[in-house]
Amino acid sequence: MSDEAWTVGRLLKWTTEWLGARGSESARLDSEVLLAHVRRCPRIALYTAFDTPVADAERARFRELVKRRGEGEPVAYLVGSREFFSLPFAVTKDVLIPRPETEGLVVRTIDLCKDASAPRIVDVGTGSGAIAVTLAKHLPRATLVATDISPAALAVARANAERQGVAERIEFVESDLLADPRLVGPWDVIVSNPPYVRDDEYFALPRDVRDHEPKAALVAGPTGVEIVRRLAAEAAERLAPGGWLVVEIGPAVAAEAERAIAEQALVPGQTLKDLAGLARMVQGRRAAT
């Protein structure tokens, strides 16, 4: 056995190789995030501590997290948080892990509300609260409601709103989409990242997603647009004149989602693409008159 000390640099090198051999596409980043979490320091601080020995207790904790990562458990669940729109959000297995693609919903909603004096916005299926909380931070005059069918998800969202100092500006409502009477509107923007994975796509999802993130927040049904279709029908009745429905979708169901919007009393908007050039958001607008 080597007597070489287990320094920060040596641990990162060994772990990166080990995770990479087990299929991680971000093995170095995973290693850094986990070690920074164990050492309770910013990730960037690791770069000035490569030659620093790591204590036995920290190595034991790091080893356990790395083992779980090697078995496919997402890093965000292991460390309990994920950054979204440059803000930290707590995540548990009751909510989806916020993704960069979803930031487009926030950008689009801010753009739609930039000239409104006091926009009314509802985030349907809020999960961790990432969308609603971020909008509250960037739209200080907005009235915001965040809904979810899961009480456990709403508890995570509330905690994140408190952490970011906007809990008093967001009403949290347990509801199946917009069914609760408190959600009658009228709304200037209804924004949502709903389930949109088809049944036949589920088993092709990456292992860390399929085996760990909540299936009910991922899978919509045979077509992938069952939830989008229901939400579009409810939104058509609850939007203010000129109000917008903005919904994240997957590229595989984009055409079906566009049809689901067009079937309602909404004027279809342009489907927006993400940074990878893939269809990512469908839109509909209620006629102004």
Per residue in 69-121, pLDDT (tens digit) is 999 999 999 999 999 999 999 999 999 999 999 999 999 999 999 989 999 99
All residues at 6 or more sequence positions from 48 whose CB lies less than 8 Å from its CB, including other chains: none
Position 288 confidence tier, pLDDT thresholds 50, 70, 90: confident
126 contacts 133 by C-beta, under 8 angstroms: no
Instruction: Decide if pLDDT at 250 tops 90.
Output: yes
Residue 246 has pLDDT above 70, yes or no: yes
- Average pLDDT over the chain, rounded to an integer: 95
- Taking only the tens place, the pLDDT of each residue in 217-241 is 999 999 999 999 999 999 999 999 9
- Every domain of the chain and the residues it spans: 8-71, 83-285
The pTM of this model reads 0.93
pLDDT tens-digit map of 197-221: 999 999 999 999 999 999 999 999 9
What CATH number is given for 83-285 in this structure? 3.40.50.150
- Map the chain to HEC letters: CCCCCCEHHHHHHHHHHHHHHCCCCCHHHHHHHHHHHHHCCCHHHHHHCCCCECCHHHHHHHHHHHHHHHCCCCHHHHHCEEEECCEEEECCCCCCCCCHHHHHHHHHHHHHHCCCCCCEEEEECCCCCHHHHHHHHHCCCCEEEEEECCHHHHHHHHHHHHHCCCHHHEEEEECCCCCCHHHCCCEEEEEECCCCEEHHHHHHCCHHHHCCCCHHHCEEECCCCHHHHHHHHHHHHHEEEEEEEEEECCHHHHHHHHHHHHCCCCEECCCEECCCCCEEEEEEECCCC
Give residue for tokens 């000035």: 48
